[in-house]
């Protein structure tokens, strides 16, 4: 298949919604992108105010801010 309905950003957000303690490695495996790409997307989502994270031991726990508007006008 050459296209998908959801962007990589949306797929990363869905991974976090399913498991707030998901690792970048697991996100990369699920979405089919590199861990570096996941890190860039997590940074984008954080900078735009869609997610935050806190460190819990060696892992992060993410919080999604679902009240943020979608970036598309539709």
pLDDT tens figures, 24-70: 999 999 999 999 999 999 999 999 999 999 999 999 999 999 999 88
Domain map of the chain by residue range?
8-64
Q: What mean pLDDT is predicted for residues 19-23? A: 97
Contact 62, 52 (CB under 8 A): yes
Those residues whose C-beta lies under 8 Å from the C-beta of residue 8, and which sit 6 or more positions away, are 31, 33, 37, 41
**Per-residue pLDDT, 1:** 61
CATH fit for domain 8-64, picks 1.10.40.30, 3.30.1540.20, 1.10.10.10, 3.10.20.30: 1.10.10.10
pTM for this model (two decimals): 0.89
């Amino acid at each position: 298949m050459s296209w998908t309905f959801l962007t990589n950003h949306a797929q990363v957000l869905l991974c976090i919604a399913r498991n707030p303690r998901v690792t970048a490695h697991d996100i990369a495996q699920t979405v089919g992108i590199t861990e570096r790409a996941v890190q860039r997307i997590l940074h984008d989502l954080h900078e735009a105010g869609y997610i935050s994270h806190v460190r819990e031991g060696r892992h992060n726990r993410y919080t999604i801010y679902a009240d943020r508007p979608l970036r598309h006008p539709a």
